[in-house]
A and B are shown apart, each in its own frame.
Chain A
Amino acid sequence: MADDVLLRAQGVRKSFGAVEVLKGIDLEVRQGQVVSLIGASGSGKTTFLRCVNLLEEHDGGEILLDGDPVGYRVEGGRRRRLSETAISAQRARIGMVFQQFNLFPHLTAEENVMLGLTKVLNKPKAEAREIATHWLGRVGLAERRGHYPYQLSGGQQQRVAIARAVAMEPRLLLFDEVTSALDPELVSEVLGVMQGLAESGMTMLVVSHEMLFVREVSHHVVFMDQGRVAQAGTPEAVFGNPESERLRSFLGRFHGMFGMV
C-alpha cells in the first residue's frame, strides 16, 4: 500500500448501548486528499468523525493516524488507553469544525484562534496574533477580529471556527456538517473557504449534505448506510454509477439540484 496514507480505519465498530452505530468501517484518507462521507442521517457519519478525534471512543477495529493507533497503544498484544495528555496531543494533530461552530463565547474572533496556539502549541502571544491575523484574513474576516461570536453571523462564526482549526496546522481537518446550521444564503461563503483549503492541499475528511460541493471538491466519496460503507469511489463513480437501490434513492433526493448543473 502507498505510504502517503494519513488516516486508515479498519473494521471500526462503535455501539451506544445496545445500538451498534458503526458496524466495521474501512476507510483511507491519503495526504492532500479530500474524502467526503455522505449518507442519510443516522448512518454513522458523524459518529465515525467523532471517533477519529476521540470525542467518542470506538469499541473495535483500529484508527491509525500516521500509522499510530488513535486513543490507545498496544502493549504486549493488549490495548492500553492513552493518558489524557497523550490523547490531547493526538487531538492537536487533528482539527475539527463543528455543525454548531462552538466558538468560545467569551473570546473575540482573534482570541478564539489564538487560544490553542498559545496554550497547546506554546507559541508566544505576538506570533499567535500574527498567525490569527493571517488566517482570519484568509477566511475574509480580518476586520472582524475584535468581534465576539455573538456579534457575528452564523457564516462568519463558522469561518472563524475554520480559521481556529487550520491555524493549529493539523495533519487532518474534520468537517462535521458545517453548513447544516446555516441560513441558505450563508452556505456558499463557508463552502468557498473549504474549497480554498482543499485547493491548497489540506487533507480533509468531510461529512456533508452539500452534494454539489462533495462532487466537485472530493477526491473520494464514501456512501455510508446503516453503519457500513455501502459504496466508495471517485465522485464520478459514486454519483454516476450508484450500485445500490439505497444510494440511488438517497441521491434521488438531491435530483433537482443536479438537474441545475
Chain B
Amino acid sequence: MIDYNFDWSVITRNWDRFLEALALGLGLAVVSLLIGCVIGLAAAYARVSGNKWLSGPVWAYVEVIRCTPLLLLIFFIYFGLPEFGIYFMDKTQSFVLTLSLYAGAYMSEVFRAGLSSIPRQYVEAAKAIGMRPWQRQRWVVLPVMFRITLPSIGNNLISLFKDTSLAAAIAIPELTFVARQINANTFRVMEVWLTASALYLATAWLLATLLRQVERRYATIR
C-alpha cells in the first residue's frame, strides 16, 4: 500500500460547505428538470403535430443538443452568448439555461415516445363522454403519459444531478467545485474526493429509491 495518512478532520471542518454545495447541485438539477419538462412537452407536441414548420426546427434543436458535449454547451452559452450581446445572466442562470435546454431535448424524446404509445382507445373514451380536445389532453393523455414516462423522468433527474458537476467549469460552487477548492487549500486529495464521490453516490441512490416509491404509487397502468 502507498504510504498515505488519512486525516478526516478536513472533512469534518468543511462539512457544512460540502452539504451546501451538494444542495446547490441538487437544486440546479431539479430546477433544470422542471424547466426541461416544460420545454420537452412543448417540443414533443410540436414533433407529433404533423406540422413541418413546427417539427422541423424542434428536430434540429433536439439533434444539436444531443450530439454536442454538455461541457461545450455550457461554455458556449456562458462565454459565447455575451459576444452576441446577451449579458443579463449570471453564471448560475446561464448554467440553468444550458442544463434546461439539454434536459428539454432529452425529455422531448421521452414525451414523444410517451405520447405515441398512448392507446387510441383512451382518447376515444374521452371523446365519447364529450370532452373537448384540450380536456382530453389535460385529463386523460397527459396523466397517462406521465405515468408511462415516470421511470425515464427519474433516470433523467439522476443524470442531470451528476451532470451538475460540470458547473465547476464555470466556477459555480457546487460539490465538485467546492471539493476542488478544499483540495487546493489542504492537499487532502483522498479524503476530499472520496467524500465528494460518496456524497454523489449516496444522493443518487437515495433519489433512485425515492423515485421507485413514486413509481410504485402511480403504477396503475398495466
Contacts and interface: CB of A to CB of B under 8 A. Distances in A.
B221 A150 contact: yes
Interface residues of A, number: 32
Nearest to A103: B125
B24 interface: no
B143 A91 contact: no
Contact of B129 (A54, A90, A149, A165): A165
A17 B129 CA distance: 28
A52 to B, nearest CB: 11
Interface stretch (A94-102, A124-132, A225-233, A234-242): A94-102
Contacts of B130: 88-93, 116, 120, 168
A85 interface: yes
B133 A115 contact: no
A115 B129 contact: yes
A104 B128 contact: no
A119 interface: yes
A85 B128 CA distance: 13
Contacts of A245: none
A116 B121 contact: no
Contacts of A92: 129-130
B132 interface: yes
A105 interface: yes
A148 interface: yes
A253 interface: no
B80 to A, nearest CB: 43
Contacts of A106: 143-144, 147, 218, 220-221
B13 interface: no
18 contacts: A54-B127, A55-B124, A55-B127, A55-B128, A84-B132, A91-B130, A102-B121, A102-B122, A104-B122, A105-B122, A105-B220, A106-B147, A106-B221, A115-B131, A120-B130, A148-B220, A149-B220, A150-B222
Given A102-B124, A104-B125, A120-B135, 4 more contacts: A55-B127, A100-B121, A102-B128, A150-B221
